[in-house]
Amino acid sequence: MMISAIDLEQLAEIELQKEEEEEEQQHHHGNRPDRPPAPHRVTFSQDTGHPYYDVARHGILQVTGDDNYGRKLVIFSSCQMPPSHQLDHHRLLEYLKYTLDQYVESDYTLVYFHHGLRSSNKPSLRWLRDAYREFDRKYKKNLKALYVVHPTNFIRILWNIFKPLISHKFGKKVTYVNYLVELRDHLNFDQLIIPPDVLRHDERLQAAQKGGPPPPAKTPPPRPPLPTQQFGVSLQYIREKNTGLMIPPVMSQTVSYLKNKGLQTEGIFRRSARVQLIKDIQKLYNQGKPVVFEQFGDVHVPAVILKTFLRELPEPLLTFSLYDHILDLVRVESSLRVSMCKHIVERLPEPNYIVLKYLLCFLHMVSQQSLINKMSPSNLGCVFGVNLAWPRQGSVSLTALPSLNIFTEILIEHYHAVFSSRCPSAQVLP
């Protein structure tokens, strides 16, 4: 089955965010709870007369001595890249070419330190595609080896996206390196300029592989959820603690705020918000304290909170048992899909159905403003599919993504056809 580049891009983005979250958790559970997760970027003194001083000063690119085979070493460090709004990626590409132009006539080796690439500093996939195309034969021909250090799932997905572009010959030059020590076999390790962040990351990986450092202290057992808890607890729990309220308060509050203030916002549900701010708001909700979205002055905050609420449910809103039925959707011809979606949705337990209908009624409203907000049913499907269904074991696979997206798109676009015939007495609509 064909997987579109857009699906892959979406998966890559999800994977990157997951990796960031896991890393933050490791920092919190590690023995350095105070260490901020923000990358520590080393500043490099650069001649201010350098034609690309604005890019060069970050130290993203370093050129050092030769590798074991007498080839120039070019080092690219992701963790040195500042947030995207502080770096002109077009200039970065020009600077890469300017630097390589001085060496490409002879053979060279490229070392890519992947650690430290985040949603906030990652160039777009279009930029990567353009970069690959612009690095014509003269750059590729003399590149003898590319070492990708500390690869993650994100790299695997990226490789899938670029596979059609990448020649077999170029593919053979790529070596994945899981630990820095492995580089010693290939190049003069002592000449490498390795950012402190990468060294620390490597130490952590080595420790984890050896069974990890001694646990700081016995981890306390998970505390039972608060009676006011809303994130990470079941719909049933929220209902029982809120005198039978069918729609979780966090949902009704984010939806009603967005209905009033967010329907005309371009790219609503596509933007992110500060991780710490989202955690603070979750804490307020979990403690039963009031949340006033007006005070954040950013309509994307409640949008992220709504998605986070759905993603943190112990069982997805569409339940584990319906997951495989949803994946079968792409096997059915287009004309039968709406009725198939209707059948699937009608198998939901009533509480889930009521919450789903409430949410989809709202997303249908959002899609009706798509000329202004650019969020068509298809775009919304890409955003919400992975937050409505996932398998009991593991995470959503590449092949499952198109089905989830199309299923969600149909629920939004054909909201009335899918939901009109089942109207529970306890139904609430936005």
87 exposed, middle or buried (CB, 10 Å; 0-12, 13-18, 19+)?
middle
- Pairing mode, strands 61-66 and 174-177: unpaired
For the domain covering 5-23+52-206, report its CATH number: 3.40.525.10
* pLDDT at residue 47 tops 70: no
Predicted confidence at residue 288, as pLDDT, reads 93
Q: Give the sign of the dihedral formed by CA 162, CA 167, CA 170, CA 174.
A: positive
* pLDDT at residue 114 tops 70: yes
Predicted confidence at residue 57, as pLDDT, reads 86
Question: How far apart (Å, rounded) are the C-alpha atoms in residues 351 and 341?
Answer: 18
Question: Each residue of 56-76: pLDDT tens digit?
Answer: 888 888 877 655 555 677 889
User: Tokens 């609503």 — which residue?
Assistant: 268
Among 25-29, 126-130, 229-233, the range of highest mean pLDDT: 229-233
Q: DSSP label at 216?
A: S
Predicted confidence at residue 399, as pLDDT, reads 66
- Please tell me the least confidently modeled range out of 75-79, 268-272, 330-334: 268-272
Question: How far apart (Å, rounded) are the C-alpha atoms in residues 322 and 13?
Answer: 25
**Closest C-alpha among 40, 67, 255 to residue 146:** 67
56 exposed, middle or buried (CB, 10 Å; 0-12, 13-18, 19+)?
buried
Predicted confidence at residue 191, as pLDDT, reads 66
Predicted confidence at residue 281, as pLDDT, reads 94
| Mean pLDDT score, 235-257 | 95
Q: Is the model more confident about 70 or about 126?
A: 126
Question: Each residue of 168-210: pLDDT tens digit?
Answer: 787 888 889 999 988 887 776 766 788 889 999 999 888 887 7
Predicted confidence at residue 303, as pLDDT, reads 93
Predicted confidence at residue 98, as pLDDT, reads 85
Domain spans in the chain, listed from the N-terminal domain onward: 5-23+52-206, 235-419
For the domain covering 235-419, report its CATH number: 1.10.555.10
| H runs (alpha helix) in 30-124 | 53-56, 89-101
User: Tokens 């490409």 — which residue?
Assistant: 104
* pLDDT at residue 112 tops 50: yes
Contacts of 76 (CB under 8 A, 6+ apart): 60, 61, 110, 111, 112, 113
Average pLDDT, the chain: 83
Tokens of 65: 């001595």
Question: How far apart (Å, rounded) are the C-alpha atoms in residues 352 and 229?
Answer: 18
Question: How far apart (Å, rounded) are the C-alpha atoms in residues 370 and 156?
Answer: 33
- Please tell me the least confidently modeled range out of 119-133, 155-169, 242-256, 355-369: 155-169
Predicted confidence at residue 413, as pLDDT, reads 97
What contacts 24+ positions apart, CB below 8 Å, involve 119-123?
119/13, 119/16, 119/17, 119/20, 119/272, 120/83, 120/84, 121/78, 121/81, 121/82, 121/83, 121/84, 121/87, 122/16, 122/84, 123/84, 123/89, 123/92
